[in-house]
């Protein structure tokens, strides 16, 4: 009866966070991408915004990509 019910996407029940090199690597690269985005946004403080916007866009796209990699490492199905 429950087989026909759709459930929200979530991590794989068999995925474990402990000792999972793929998850640790994905978190590490995501943190680095967020740091890069923060640095790029900081450019608005002392640079021309027209020069900063492309860097922010690139950094934001990197964050999106790294979040996707983390979701895969955690076993999320999409």
| Whether this model's pTM surpasses 0.85 | no
DSSP 8-55: -----TT---TT-HHHHHHHHHHHHHHHHHHHHHHGGGTS-HHHHHHH
Q: Is residue 44 part of a domain?
A: yes
Domain of residue 21, residue span: 16-74
Interval 13-29 mean pLDDT: 78
Q: Is residue 68 part of a domain?
A: yes
Q: What pLDDT does 43 receive?
A: 97
How many angstroms separate the most distant Cα atoms in the chain? 61
pLDDT exceeds cutoff 80 at 77: no
Report the number of distinct structural domains present in the chain: 1
Q: What tens digit of pLDDT does each residue of 1-16 get?
A: 455 565 666 666 665 6
Q: Is residue 33 part of a domain?
A: yes
Q: Is residue 49 part of a domain?
A: yes
77, 74, 71, 70: which is closest to 30 by C-alpha? 70
Q: Is residue 11 part of a domain?
A: no
Q: What pLDDT does 20 receive?
A: 84
Q: What tens digit of pLDDT does each residue of 34-52 get?
A: 999 999 999 999 999 999 9
């Amino acid at each position: 009866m429950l087989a026909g019910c759709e459930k929200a996407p979530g991590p794989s029940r068999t995925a474990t966070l402990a000792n999972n090199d793929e998850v640790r690597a994905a978190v590490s690269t995501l943190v680095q991408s967020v740091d890069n985005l923060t640095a790029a946004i900081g450019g608005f403080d002392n640079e021309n915004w027209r020069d900063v916007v492309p860097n922010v866009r690139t950094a934001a796209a990197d964050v999106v990509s790294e979040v996707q990699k983390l979701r895969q490492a955690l076993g999320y199905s999409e």
